[in-house]
Amino acid sequence: MLDTSCIRAAMALSLLLFASVAAAARPAPAASEPTDEQTAAQLRDEALAGENLAWDWVSELTTRFGPRPAGSDNEHRAAEWAAERLKALGFANVHIESFPITAWVRGVESAQIVAPVPQPLVVAALGESPPTPPTGLEGEVVIFPTLADLKAAPAGSLDGKIAFVAARMVRMQDGAGYGAAVEARVDGPAEAAKRGAIAFVLRSVGTDSNRIAHTGTTAYVDGRVPVPAFALAAPDADQIERLAALGGKVRIHLYSSASYVPDAHSQNVIADVPGRVHPEQVVLLGAHLDSWDQGTGAVDDGTGTAIVTAAAKLILDLPQRGPRRTVRVVLFGSEEVAQPVAPFGAFGGHAYADSHKAELAHHVLAAESDFGTDRVYSLELPAAVVKSEFATTAMRVLQPIGVLAAAEPARQSGTDVRPTNEAGVPPFALLQDGTHYFDVHHTADDTLDKVDREQLDQNVAAWAALVWLAADSDVDFRGQEAPH
Amino acid sequence: MLDTSCIRAAMALSLLLFASVAAAARPAPAASEPTDEQTAAQLRDEALAGENLAWDWVSELTTRFGPRPAGSDNEHRAAEWAAERLKALGFANVHIESFPITAWVRGVESAQIVAPVPQPLVVAALGESPPTPPTGLEGEVVIFPTLADLKAAPAGSLDGKIAFVAARMVRMQDGAGYGAAVEARVDGPAEAAKRGAIAFVLRSVGTDSNRIAHTGTTAYVDGRVPVPAFALAAPDADQIERLAALGGKVRIHLYSSASYVPDAHSQNVIADVPGRVHPEQVVLLGAHLDSWDQGTGAVDDGTGTAIVTAAAKLILDLPQRGPRRTVRVVLFGSEEVAQPVAPFGAFGGHAYADSHKAELAHHVLAAESDFGTDRVYSLELPAAVVKSEFATTAMRVLQPIGVLAAAEPARQSGTDVRPTNEAGVPPFALLQDGTHYFDVHHTADDTLDKVDREQLDQNVAAWAALVWLAADSDVDFRGQEAPH
């Protein structure tokens, strides 16, 4: 609560400071029609005042449908609800695009220390990881401080044992600690199996210290995850390390009845604010409707779907003329789950890029909101426009709400839009403060109470203003990189 | 983390401020033998410097034995370990006093919203509550804002339904929010059953917002808890309330295979620092070794056992003469679990007061540390000495570490010593900051990582200093209340 108060106080202060500077620098409004910059500021201020649908959207989505794992009935229901809601809100071209997946379904799972003294452990099976035998698995734990240490173990050295990578994720504002830590989750099971291990466990890839484990996908090798794999809650990882330090072998028992549904499907939900002049030119705003299966997917990624939908709705409802280009909301499915054909994530993203391949040449930008609900603090633009008048205008609108220009151009935006970006559509990124994101990411604790409404509104403000500026322009975001 | 830093900074500041005042006020040391006040200050400063065994004690206890529910093998093992350790530390009269109990054993448990849309719920069966039928129980949820609202419902109005008391616990420094909220947990099941309900659920009695439920005992009525009873994690209670507000009935399914072990036993562990002059006069320091079954009982009450043991050990190891009176450590068993003969808690406490009845006339004080590990901020003394020279001396020693004299005399200290206090032995209370205690109280999240070592040391400092002053004195703490 303290943290939130601090951020609110800082935001209020920066608003005061910057608002006065911005007011002095801004050109006088035209008598007849508002300028693009004025419309962007108007959208921003509407959003910031709470006059947007983000809170109601994320509240209703997460309350009605709870967890929405890829391929589940609840994911399908949420997509149908979203499509109905988008139609009712007045969006055009609202439809659902289905695609096949193999769904992974968590079963019953449990873990215990069995020696030296029995104790329960809190674990979560990693996504896509196979079940244990019906009586579970038991083995001695071999502790590796990092994935590199596991990789250095000789073949056969883990025969009949359980490999445990104990590395701690580093808390960082930009989330870079995740990239450094997640490799152990992705590659650990296969590396352990190669050396004879019967199972793999790791300290949760997360920054909290609660008895709640963080799930997430692992890599397929030859079409499967080779051994049952689990994340331990941070205090449980501590406990095993301390127990080993007291001397003697630590043995644990693991059980999971996870299963696969090979003929499942997921879907993307699409909705447009049609362009007034160039309807074929698309500014794509993405987020994902699916979630992990233990929380209700509030910050991952209910708020993302709420932010981009609310931003597009503000543009749709402008009393003045609409944007020159089309603003397209895509609520992706099956973002969280790796598939054999896509070793790590982005399945809804692939489906979109494949089925819209012919149109991508006219997509002018594609970006995603998928990093929780904390405030946007930095804007990354495509290299071509970093030094442009577009960037200058954008920063005049965004700086008053605490967003600074990033030092680097945008290289990526989110998992779902990556295939579209890789097809040549430039990304932008409204970078969010990720200091607390990994406290609840991929856990049962990802629930609505973790969403700060004021910060949610600031996100909508940033998206609405920036997307308006891009969609009402004729800027070529693919152009050559601007000279330095 | 921020909170802890703030408290540390505040403590450091108060140490600086008060140390200079105290130094000016303190009498010059005698050349030969230290005064009682000097010895108390010496004990305080040793503890504060981390030269005490509290951290190692709580770390080893919680790591080796994990959860220690009353009557379990792990509770017995922990008691044997504690007795061995106390002997090795040099305490006298170390022994275990066993007593019979009926143990309650959590089984497998689960809960789901089944309508309008299936969703998992995080629950914990309340201690002593009976199992559901093997296929579980399903019913419509009827929401009551408070226990009083449930009590106002007519007989028969809950036939076949599940009563849900949604009251929120208030966060308060002195923990008074718990007293106000816990009534629903204790009396709710019986009140629900009286009106025909098939089960009872309540919002966890706690102050966090994690997907972790808070267990705790419920009252027996006619020798049993009348219906299966569960605590919902706070976000799950929110979810049911929001779902009901969206319209339509909410139905949930509950399952628990909890069971009872009627021929179990628990035990108290006793250890003395023998009095030099009046060995029969006892200053009793209590804490409890048992814990709830989902966490490792770090703050409830591993740290309490560590604080009183470490304080007594500092007195035992004084290089100068020992105390005039006996300092007795009692590590109680089965504090957490209500029994038919004791409708609410304190079973180890009853066993001690019963089996030591003849000695209680010579017990001069009995107090307990059972409120986590946050810093002591206030001292309550028996009414008889509130205005005495003893109190003045005690405050000169304690004020430098941030402890103020309480406005009221001590009326109670802890659950385990209550039967001893009720037999006429005066309590004192070193009141701890309980602002965060109920974030993890009675949950799986009560683990060692929640213990702040610096605050733990401050607790040991306060206990060692005060207990020394009481044990080396001839003060009659039962005396008439001092005139105001």
pLDDT at A21 over 80: no
CB contact under 8 A, B447 and A238: yes
- pLDDT grade, residue B346 (50/70/90)? low
CA distances from B213 to B203, B284, B390 (A): 8, 34, 44
**Kind plus residue range of the DSSP H or E element containing B191:** helix B176-194
Task: Tell me the chain A residues in contact with residue B443 when contact means C-beta distances shorter than 8 Å.
Answer: 211
Strands B363-368 and B278-288: parallel
Q: Does B370 touch chain A (CB under 8 A)?
A: no
Q: Are A405 and A264 in contact (CB under 8 A)?
A: no
- A65-74, B34-43, B267-276, B329-338: segment of lowest average pLDDT: B329-338
The SS3 of residue B404 is strand
Q: How many angstroms separate the CA atoms of B240 and B253, rounded?
A: 13
Task: Tell me the chain B residues in contact with residue A450 when contact means C-beta distances shorter than 8 Å.
Answer: 209
Q: Does B113 touch chain A (CB under 8 A)?
A: yes
Going along chain A from its start, the domains and CATH numbers come out as 2-103+262-471 (3.40.630.10), 107-257 (3.50.30.30)
CB contact under 8 A, B73 and A450: no
The SS3 of residue A286 is strand
User: In whole numbers, what is the pLDDT of chain B averaged over residues?
Assistant: 91
Closest CA to A310 of A82, A154, A483: A82
Q: Does B118 touch chain A (CB under 8 A)?
A: yes
Q: Does B294 touch chain A (CB under 8 A)?
A: yes
- In chain B, whose CA is at the least distance from the CA of A248? B64
pLDDT at A31: 57
pLDDT at B6 over 60: no
Tens of pLDDT along B74-112? 999 999 999 999 999 999 999 999 999 989 999 999 999
Q: How many angstroms separate the CA atoms of B58 and A251, rounded?
A: 22
Task: Tell me the chain A residues in contact with residue B61 when contact means C-beta distances shorter than 8 Å.
Answer: none
Q: Are A115 and A250 in contact (CB under 8 A)?
A: yes
Q: Which residues contact B51 (CB under 8 A, 6 or more apart)?
A: none
A75 in active site: no
- pLDDT grade, residue B480 (50/70/90)? low
Catalytic entry in A128, A191, A335, A368: A335
Q: Does A450 touch chain B (CB under 8 A)?
A: yes
pLDDT at A22 over 60: no
pLDDT at B432: 98
Tens of pLDDT along B359-401? 999 999 999 999 999 999 999 999 999 999 999 999 999 999 9
Q: Which of B55, B63, B123, B439 would best serve as a mutation to test chain A binding (most A beta carbons within 10 A)? A: B63
Q: Does A113 touch chain B (CB under 8 A)?
A: yes
Q: Is the C-alpha dihedral spanning B319, B324, B327, B328 positive or negative?
A: positive
Q: How many angstroms separate the CA atoms of B419 and B348, rounded?
A: 10
Q: Which two tokens stand for residue B426?
A: 């005066």
pLDDT at B10 over 90: no
Q: How many angstroms separate the CA atoms of B284 and B428, rounded?
A: 10
- pLDDT grade, residue A480 (50/70/90)? low
Q: Residue A387, Cβ neighbours under 10 Å: how many?
A: 15
Q: How large is the average pLDDT for residues A65-70?
A: 97
- A98-102, A190-194, A311-315, A376-380: segment of lowest average pLDDT: A98-102
Task: Tell me the chain A residues in contact with residue B122 when contact means C-beta distances shorter than 8 Å.
Answer: 444
pLDDT at A403 over 50: yes
Tens of pLDDT along A198-235? 999 999 999 999 999 999 998 877 777 899 999 999 99
Tens of pLDDT along A434-468? 999 999 999 999 999 999 999 999 999 999 999 99
pLDDT at B13 over 70: no
- pLDDT grade, residue B341 (50/70/90)? very low
- In chain B, whose CA is at the least distance from the CA of A76? B117
Between residues 235 and 264 of chain B, which touch chain A (CB distance below 8 Å)? Answer: 235, 238-239, 242-243, 246
Q: Residue B196, Cβ neighbours under 10 Å: how many?
A: 17
Tens of pLDDT along B225-257? 899 999 999 999 999 999 999 998 999 999 999
Q: How large is the average pLDDT for residues B289-300?
A: 98
CB contact under 8 A, B238 and A65: no
Q: Does A119 touch chain B (CB under 8 A)?
A: yes
Q: Is the C-alpha dihedral spanning B458, B453, A438, A125 positive or negative?
A: negative
The SS3 of residue B346 is coil
Q: How large is the average pLDDT for residues B27-56?
A: 88
CB contact under 8 A, A63 and B243: yes
CB contact under 8 A, A450 and B242: no
pLDDT at B1 over 70: no
Cis peptide before A116 (omega within 30 of 0): yes
CB contact under 8 A, B117 and A450: no
Q: Which residues contact A345 (CB under 8 A, 6 or more apart)?
A: A217, A335, A336, A337, A338, A415
Pick the more confident residue, B22 or A55: A55
3-state helix, strand, coil in chain B (%, to 5): 35, 25, 40
- pLDDT grade, residue B31 (50/70/90)? low
pLDDT at A481: 42
pLDDT at A345: 45
CB contact under 8 A, B449 and A209: yes
pLDDT at A283: 98
Q: Are B310 and B54 in contact (CB under 8 A)?
A: yes
Closest CA to A103 of A228, A301, A256, A267: A267
Between residues 416 and 445 of chain B, which touch chain A (CB distance below 8 Å)? Answer: 443-445
- pLDDT grade, residue B339 (50/70/90)? low
Q: How far apart are the first and last CA of chain A?
A: 43
Q: Residue B20, Cβ neighbours under 10 Å: how many?
A: 11
The reported pTM is: 0.91
CB contact under 8 A, B117 and A77: yes
Strands A162-165 and A199-203: parallel
Q: Does B168 touch chain A (CB under 8 A)?
A: no
Q: Which two tokens stand for residue A144?
A: 């590796």
Q: How many angstroms separate the CA atoms of A153 and B279, rounded?
A: 60
| Nearest CB neighbour to A117, from listed B3, B64, B211 | B64
Q: Which of A80, A117, A440 would best serve as a mutation to test chain B binding (most B beta carbons within 10 A)? A: A117
pLDDT at A4: 39
Q: How many angstroms separate the CA atoms of A416 and A428, rounded?
A: 13
Pick the more confident residue, A263 or B13: A263
pLDDT at A346: 55
Q: Does B73 touch chain A (CB under 8 A)?
A: yes
Q: Are B371 and B434 in contact (CB under 8 A)?
A: yes
- pLDDT grade, residue A339 (50/70/90)? low
Place of tokens 């692992």: A218
Q: How many CB pairs under 8 A join A and B?
A: 107
Q: How large is the average pLDDT for residues B443-453?
A: 98
Q: Does A118 touch chain B (CB under 8 A)?
A: yes
Q: How large is the average pLDDT for residues B26-40?
A: 75
Residues of B known to be catalytic: 335
pLDDT at B288: 98
pLDDT at B20 over 80: no
pLDDT at A106 over 70: yes
pLDDT at B148: 98
Q: How large is the average pLDDT for residues A287-312?
A: 98
Tens of pLDDT along A28-52? 444 578 999 999 999 999 999 999 9
